[in-house]
Structure 1
Amino acid sequence: MNKALKNPTVFILFLLPGLILFFMFFIYPIFSSIYYSFTSWNGVSSTVKYVGFNNYEKALGQERFWISVRNNGFFILFSCFIQVPLIVFFSLLIANVKRLKGLYKTTVFLPSIMSTAVIGILWGFIYEPDIGLLNKIFGIFGIDKIYWLSDEKFAMLSILVTNAWQWTGFYIVMVLAAILSIPKELDEAAAIDGATGFQRATKITLPLITPIISVVIMLSIAGAMKAADIILVMTKGGPAGSTEVMATYMIKYAITNFKYGFGNTIAVLIFIFTLIITVVYQLLIARRNERIEY
């Protein structure tokens, strides 16, 4: 077997199926999108008209496009500064539970395996102005009825909370696995030296799980840039485009309005923005936390 693997022909034959799939489902779609982004095409006609950078000028000149970019920014900020700290906090709590730890892990993970459509409908009932659970609770304290999904002031926040509820459990399981992999001797030695639980968490646990927290932030950024399904289910980008993100903006043009060329322009812009953000994050933050030695 070792002799066969040293043969270049055999080695290439082993790699070939993976390379073909990689080309078909990654490389070709990217270059195809770039090509069509410079065209005016409805996705059906055999006529493809080259328009140069007109689509890019049109997109970058539209106010609604920049509103969608801003909303993607809200997703990123909410994920990094609210969701991630909560993920770490709950992971530390569950890690220190002595009984029913498996039950807690299963419970927090459940929303992640549910369909986004189901979650959108479920939270739609929670946000319902007249009979929704949230307004019923607020009504007890004398707070007036709030139109969570139809008021521009609250619609985006409602989407962010729902999205966070769906994916927080998935990331908690990741962070929890990192916490439980830390040698117990480190924590026990600190406890013997008189360190409190808070000190052990902040001085030992958090520094050692920094790499996985960095991964969680990267995944959160990537998820924020491609968010679309939860918005399409709950608000369809409304009210008045206040919850529109780049992905839903792209879908409306490419599929609903049959402007496939312009839709591909938005897709390329999403790719470029995501690439810039991830590269900047990797250079400024992630590289410092790549390796932790126990």
Structure 2
Amino acid sequence: MERLPSWLRQHLAALRALLVLTVVTGVIYPLVTTGIAQALFNGKADGSPVEKDGKVAGSLIIGQSFTDKDGNPVKTYFQSRPSAAGAGYDLTSTSASNLGPEDVVDVLPVPGAKDDAGNPDTGKQSLLTQVCARSKAIGEFEGVSGARPYCTADGIGAVLKVFPAVGTPTRAVSVNQACPATPFVAVYEGVKVECGKPGEDYSAGRTVPVRGGATAVVPPDAVTASGSGLDPDISVAYADLQAPRIARERHLPLGTVQTLIQEHTTGRALGFMGEPAVNVLELNLALDGKRG
């Protein structure tokens, strides 16, 4: 019997390998892992759904937003932390923002400019400005100070670009405050501070975040997203910050709301790992069981 050409034998071997790997990794492995998950972690494997009035209200292990149809936070509910997963708590886009503490300079939108898709230029907010804006908004929502270090009074990252990068300053620009805004500080080391001009390149300057004298009242988890973007818990400090609003909106004694927070606070993992946390969905469902 005549042997097949070597090129054909190679293609047949590759095809067999493809079929075997498809069956092993695409059929057998998913079935085995799903079976083990269902056997050992039945509730969590199915997403730990929680029902209310016969309908699924959410998940104990996957966070969600408590907003109205326009995306505004509902005043009668505790609010979750921010999420960088898609438009917020999107299971198909679980991720972090991948922005770190060095991300402090905004890209200012250029008036009249458009992006590659033809949409108006919206610029890009740095992580610092995102945190400042969230803190300001939460402060207004909760009736407390939203001020925090390295933030301007209008909720923007308080950052200067100083020229030259080394030596005595001859120019200083508040790069996150677009003209004609008034810079958050008038003078830096004897040099008048300018507002930022959209489209101008300030990369050659030295980046100088200005701490200021503010003390943060809004907790860190209220203004930063979790690594997965799906964290269902908030800190006790953030829950306590929201308690007066909840009590006021639901016509409940503040002590009743604070007791509910305590009842739904979980301790540190293994007694020493992490911090105590409050599951937002459980807390909100418990609130719905109280009459005000």
TM-score, normalization: structure 2? 0.23
Q: Counting strand residues as a fraction of each chain, which structure ranks higher?
A: 2
TM-score, normalization: structure 1? 0.23
